[in-house]
Amino acid sequence: MQTVKQPLNGQQAYTRLSALCARSEHCQQDMLDKMRQWGVAEAEQAQVMARLVKEQYVDDARYARAFANDKVHYDRWGRRKVEQALHQKRIDPAVCRDVLDAVPPQDYVDALMPLLQQKRHTTKANSPYELNQKLIRYALSRGYDMEIIRQCIDVEDEDEFLD
């Protein structure tokens, strides 16, 4: 028989969430989702969230910067994919735009080049045109803009002719 968990009150939720935020960055939407999951009353959710923001445990702009940095440099996501993920987290579009504009375009190129080189070696195609189309689709699925993709594909093609 499954026991029903007791819903948390505002103070208990604040204690848990502040400890969670002290360990890693989280956005307001993450915190609201957790409180709903724990059964915290709506009015208490607003109070807890206001306190977390006031005490700077939660800062959506700081979260967005850390998230974008991690996704571009470690997971090698393109701008569009990062932007979509931040939108799903309900981060303010102005904050997203500022954060993503701060990432230099060269960082996207540096992230995409090794991905395309690796993908080029494992992709089967009947012609160079077909191979480039497959690489473009792959890069688009990773969230890269066509301009960045073209830069990387053009460099790849030039390298192929030099060999």
2: tokens are: 């499954």
Closest by alpha carbon to 115, among 163, 85, 75, 81? 75
Where do runs of H (alpha helix) occur along 24-145?
A: 28-38, 42-54, 60-73, 79-88, 93-101, 105-122, 128-141
Q: What is the pLDDT of residues 118-130, one digit of tens each?
A: 999 999 999 999 9
Prediction pTM value: 0.83
Average pLDDT of span 95-115:
94
pLDDT at 2 over 60: no
pLDDT at 146 over 50: yes
Predicted local distance difference test score (pLDDT) of residue 27: 94
Predicted local distance difference test score (pLDDT) of residue 161: 43
Q: What is the pLDDT of residues 42-81, one digit of tens each?
A: 999 999 999 999 999 999 999 999 999 999 999 999 999 9
